[in-house]
Amino acid sequence: MKKTYLSVVMIFLYVLLMKCNAYPFRRSEKIHRIHRVSPGKIVIDGKFEDWKSIKNLTTDVGSKERGKFPPRIDLKSVKCTYDGDNFYLLLEAKPVHGAVIIYVDSDGSKSTGVDSLVIGQKMQVVKFQQGWDYVIKLTYAPSYLTSQVEKIEKVKYGYKTKLVGKVRNSVNDPSYVGVGKRFQEVKVPLQILKIKPPTEIALLFMEGTGGMFTKYDKHCQLIKVKIE
């Protein structure tokens, strides 16, 4: 009787442990292959034309409720590419008002980054198979897009971030950021993200800031990328 009871308890604890370590958000098991483009191929102007030959990483992040409730942003199609100097992202977000966070595992190594993040209204710790090295923070408004890149550093009790790049541009002054009616472009130098092709990286797209209004099971998507 005692052995049976002990077995039931052990099974319950195992199931509970597996549930705690599960990945409840949308993630891609597929590895997307990204090929280098020639210099000048991508123009930071918030327009789609120069991206037509580049495939989507995803056609929808999160749930359809976005745009109706906080963080009031629905991240749709996402693309990325790179040239000899820069890493590029194209995002379609509706409405163009709110915030998006993109965590970057820039070297494919769990040991060099942070593998646990505090996400969502319940401030739950979510463990990953990736080690996040950088975070790109985007703040949307009708006429401008703020791009902020921070390096994630381990500390004794968790992690901290250090600002390594920040740009705020209007539609009339595109450089590292391009803002259009439907599409937003971000250019980050490879040397800032420490990406050294060829390599495999991971991107975690998050609608909202990751705070109390962001639900990691509805507003996040993890995508694996092989930069060739």
- Using an 8 Å Cβ cutoff, are 167 and 146 in contact? yes
Q: How many domains does the chain have?
A: 1
Q: 31-62: per-residue pLDDT in tens? A: 999 999 999 999 988 888 999 999 999 888 86
Output the CA–CA distances (angstroms, integers) from residue 96 to 43, 62, 66, in the order listed.
Answer: 20, 16, 12
Cis peptide before 24 (omega within 30 of 0): no
Examine the pLDDT at 7 and tell me if it is beyond 70. Answer: no
Question: pLDDT tens digit string along 57-105?
Answer: 988 886 555 555 566 778 888 999 999 999 999 998 876 677 889 999 9
Whether the per-residue pLDDT at 220 is higher than 60: the answer is yes
Residue 83 belongs to a domain:
yes
HSE, CB side, 13 Å, CA atoms: give it for residue 198. 5
3-state secondary structure of 16: helix
Name the band, by pLDDT with cuts 50, 70 and 90, for residue 11.
very low
Q: Which of 12-16, 163-167, 181-185, 221-225 has the highest mean pLDDT?
A: 221-225
- Lowest-confidence region among 21-25, 67-71, 211-215: 21-25
Domain of 106, in residue numbers? 25-227
Residue 9 lies in a domain: no
- Cβ count near 75 (within 10 Å): 26
Tell me the CATH number at 82.
2.60.40
Q: Is position 2 within any domain?
A: no
Q: What confidence tier does 114 reach under pLDDT thresholds 50, 70, 90?
A: very high
